[in-house]
Structure 1
């Protein structure tokens, strides 16, 4: 029996966010804003954090710098119940980080330093520990220069050989990213990109066609997040379905996709079907969008269940 519910592997960084940003003031000038916040982020880091908040056992597997930002990540994740024993520290690069000037619309323009995530990798000698979880989540393909491609394929393949369930998300996808992603697809049980990223890689625009594109290449379940338009789900068996987004005031969309992945993972751990898992994941993402940063207003499993059952959809 695996030790953890989830092993979250890949990109972890620190986000420094401010809102609302209407413009950048001229040099030497001061502009007052309402809020500045620092959070753990990244397609693996934020998912690990949100899984911890939602009460499942999770270990983080990423590389951070031997710096203040790396200390912050380890301290914050530990506080959320994430096991940090497999987080590597390096003095060869700073911890990955982003500055996000969030406008009133809640969008997320970003200035990013790849940093230590560029040298993140998992050696085969580490597989026993890294894959010691029921669900293996890989997040960050596209910004993990040393891990992208064949190393990711090997790890996912080994995960499936061990009978693990695999989930997968990426970041900053383009047509070029597909060369890294395609060999992974036969080993992915739940493919959870945004519709924009999935469309960029496939060259398609229709959600049904996009989902089928990835399923034809080996993905078992395609789950496409569509922001304010909800989610499109093409399950391994049964009919495709869509779910509307929750009707909320959007403060910040940073981390919504990462938190949605966490919601799907928690649903799978609870033994729910994909419809119920996607409903819950949508509620998780809504809680995150209600606040600033990749955890936003997410506080607990019970509170999220309440949101799922009471908040109106669009």
Structure 2
């Protein structure tokens, strides 16, 4: 019996978001906007936070700075119920942080400081505790300079040796990311990237072809998020399928992919089949997109389950 439902490992960042932003004022002038927030974010941390909001016993495994922003991030994680016993502090560099001016349509260009993402690793003394969960989610490959490569391969390999279920996502994929991701693929049970990230690595564009590429490399289940077009799923067993996105008024797309992964993880802990997991995950992403930041309007499992059954779908009459 493991101590946690999910261990979220890797990229954690403090997001500072403002909306709606239509321009950067000239010189020293100011524009007035409606909302500014600071949130827990990142391909590991946002997924872990959303899992905690949805009721899972969640631990965070990452590194943050010995600065005020690091204090805030840890306190915020704890407020959501996340266990932060394996959140290490590094005073040699500031915390990873991003400024996001969110456009009226929900898109968000980013100004990012890599910070502690580059120094994160899982120390040998922390390894057993980091793997003490039913599901191990690794997020952020490509930005985890000290953990990318052989440390990540060894970590996921050990997770599979222990019989853990593994989920995986990355961020800001580029041609160089291929060499980091390929060795991980045989140890990934559920790969949940955006189509843009996955296509960049595979060198293909069609979702079906992209999914087949990753399955040929050893991934068991591929779930490609397609933004407003929904999700394409190629499962280990059964035929591939596509599900539409919910038809909602989008406020901010920050963290939608991370929240989708959280929805998949929640569904897996409940023993649902992959279609039901993807339906629920789509509702999680919709709730996040309806507000500002990586948690958006996400409040609870029950509320999200109701949203799954009540929010309209795109293309639905």
Instruction: Give the secondary structure class of the aligned counterpart of 1:268.
Output: helix
Measured against aligned partners, the alpha-carbon deviations of 1:222-264 in whole angstroms (never above 9, x if no partner) come to: 0000000000000001000000000000000000001011000
Q: Does 1:62 align with 2:55?
A: no
Alpha-carbon distance in 1 for matches of 2:242, 2:174: 25
Alpha-carbon distance in 1 for matches of 2:233, 2:275: 8
Q: How many residue pairs get matched?
A: 314
Q: Does 1:144 align with 2:144?
A: yes
Measured against aligned partners, the alpha-carbon deviations of 1:111-151 in whole angstroms (never above 9, x if no partner) come to: 10010110000133321100000000000001000001110
User: Counterpart of 1:25?
Assistant: 25
Alpha-carbon distance in 2 for matches of 1:28, 1:262: 41
User: Counterpart of 2:81?
Assistant: 81
User: Counterpart of 1:230?
Assistant: 230
User: Counterpart of 1:156?
Assistant: 156
Instruction: Give the secondary structure class of the aligned counterpart of 2:136.
Output: strand
User: Counterpart of 2:49?
Assistant: 49
Contact 1:175 1:202 (C-alpha < 8 Å) held by counterparts:
no
Alpha-carbon distance in 1 for matches of 2:44, 2:69: 16
User: Matches of residues 106-145 of structure 1 in structure 2 within 5 Å?
Assistant: 106-145=106-145
User: Counterpart of 2:268?
Assistant: 268
Task: Kindly state the Cα deviation for residue 182 of structure 1 after the two structures are TM-superposed.
Answer: 0.1
Moved over 4 A (4+): none
Alpha-carbon distance in 2 for matches of 1:48, 1:73: 13
Alpha-carbon distance in 1 for matches of 2:156, 2:51: 20
Contact 2:189 2:221 (C-alpha < 8 Å) held by counterparts:
yes
5+ long unaligned stretches in structure 1: none
Contact 1:182 1:217 (C-alpha < 8 Å) held by counterparts:
yes
Instruction: Give the secondary structure class of the aligned counterpart of 1:62.
Output: strand
Q: Does 1:291 align with 2:291?
A: yes
Alpha-carbon distance in 1 for matches of 2:302, 2:15: 26
Instruction: Give the secondary structure class of the aligned counterpart of 1:175.
Output: coil
User: Counterpart of 2:201?
Assistant: 201
Instruction: Name the TM-score, length of structure 2 as normaliser.
Output: 0.98
User: Counterpart of 1:6?
Assistant: 6
Task: Kindly state the Cα deviation for residue 49 of structure 1 after the two structures are TM-superposed.
Answer: 0.6
Task: Kindly state the Cα deviation for residue 175 of structure 1 after the two structures are TM-superposed.
Answer: 1.6
Alpha-carbon distance in 2 for matches of 1:70, 1:28: 29
Contact 2:231 2:244 (C-alpha < 8 Å) held by counterparts:
yes
Q: Does 1:98 align with 2:94?
A: no
Instruction: Give the secondary structure class of the aligned counterpart of 1:183.
Output: helix
Task: Kindly state the Cα deviation for residue 27 of structure 1 after the two structures are TM-superposed.
Answer: 1.6
Contact 2:86 2:126 (C-alpha < 8 Å) held by counterparts:
no
Deviates more, 1:302-311 or 1:25-34: 25-34
Alpha-carbon distance in 1 for matches of 2:45, 2:309: 27
Contact 2:10 2:117 (C-alpha < 8 Å) held by counterparts:
yes
Alpha-carbon distance in 1 for matches of 2:137, 2:120: 15
Task: Kindly state the Cα deviation for residue 269 of structure 1 after the two structures are TM-superposed.
Answer: 0.4
Instruction: Name the TM-score, length of structure 1 as normaliser.
Output: 0.99
